[in-house]
Amino acid sequence: GNTISEASPASFELLPAGMDFESFDPSHPAGNFAPFIKATLRGIASGLGVSYNSLASDLEGVNFSSIRAGVLEERQHWKSIQAWMIEHFMVPVYTEWLRMALISNQLAPIPVNKISKFSEPKWQARGFEWIDPLKDAKANLQEIQMGTKSRADILAEKGKDIEEVFEQIKSEEQLAESVGINIGSAVPITEDIVEE
């Protein structure tokens, strides 16, 4: 068989009798290494359904429009995975857990008129924030005014529950009032605020 010997830069072992030295050029990685890695990461990103820029944290050569288009497509992919996870994992596990918890008396008995409420929980998936929240706030305000979008939809997109947000606002207002601060119940949005 062949004798394989490893060598560190600038150091070699003594060659055994009958062996000849063959030089080698340790100039690796070569110039085509970066394109190879980029192509490999692009393939991995495509297989995972995410953008190359997100996977590799590489923003070279992208502009706002191209990155936004990629992010939109990627977020749709993640939203579909979240919906699948809720339907095929969270709901069955919760349903079985609730049944077993009631049978084993781990929970207080549920009144008959509230069984459907406990049997159909609301699942809130992770939300996504945008790079330019001011433009999104303006667009959301216009959609609310046109009646094409609800506050619940806007908050769900951010991964928040409208009931929790309203409770937080109410609690915040009560706290402010108790210490003598008037913050108002809603901050009016004017054209000066939303215009660039």
Q: Out of 98, 123, 148, pick the residue that ends a domain.
A: 123
Does one domain contain both 105 and 145? Answer: no
> Is residue 8 domain-resident?
no
Does one domain contain both 90 and 118? Answer: yes
Q: Out of 123, 152, 185, pick the residue that ends a domain.
A: 123
Q: How confident is the model at residue 25 (pLDDT cuts 50, 70, 90)?
A: low
The total of structural domains in the chain comes to: 2
Does one domain contain both 86 and 100? Answer: yes
pTM summary value: 0.56
> Is residue 192 domain-resident?
yes
Range of the domain at 95: 76-123
Average pLDDT, the chain: 83
Q: 13-17, 41-45, 172-176, 191-195: which range is least confident on average?
A: 191-195
Q: 61-65, 162-166, 173-177, 185-189: which range is least confident on average?
A: 185-189
Say what percent of the chain tops pLDDT 70.
Answer: 85
Q: How far is CA 144 from CA 41, 137, 156, in A?
A: 41, 10, 14
* Region 185-196 average pLDDT: 51
**Burial zone of 148 (CB within 10 Å; 0-12 exposed, 13-18 middle, 19+ buried):** exposed
- Give pLDDT tens digits for 114-139: 888 888 888 888 888 777 788 889 99
- Give pLDDT tens digits for 82-115: 999 999 999 999 999 998 998 898 988 888 888 8
> Is residue 93 domain-resident?
yes
> Is residue 180 domain-resident?
yes
> Is residue 18 domain-resident?
no
Q: Which of 74, 72, 39 is nearest to 56 (CA)?
A: 39
> Is residue 145 domain-resident?
yes
Q: 12-16, 30-34, 171-175: which range is least confident on average?
A: 12-16
pLDDT the model gives residue 26:
64
Does one domain contain both 149 and 195? Answer: yes
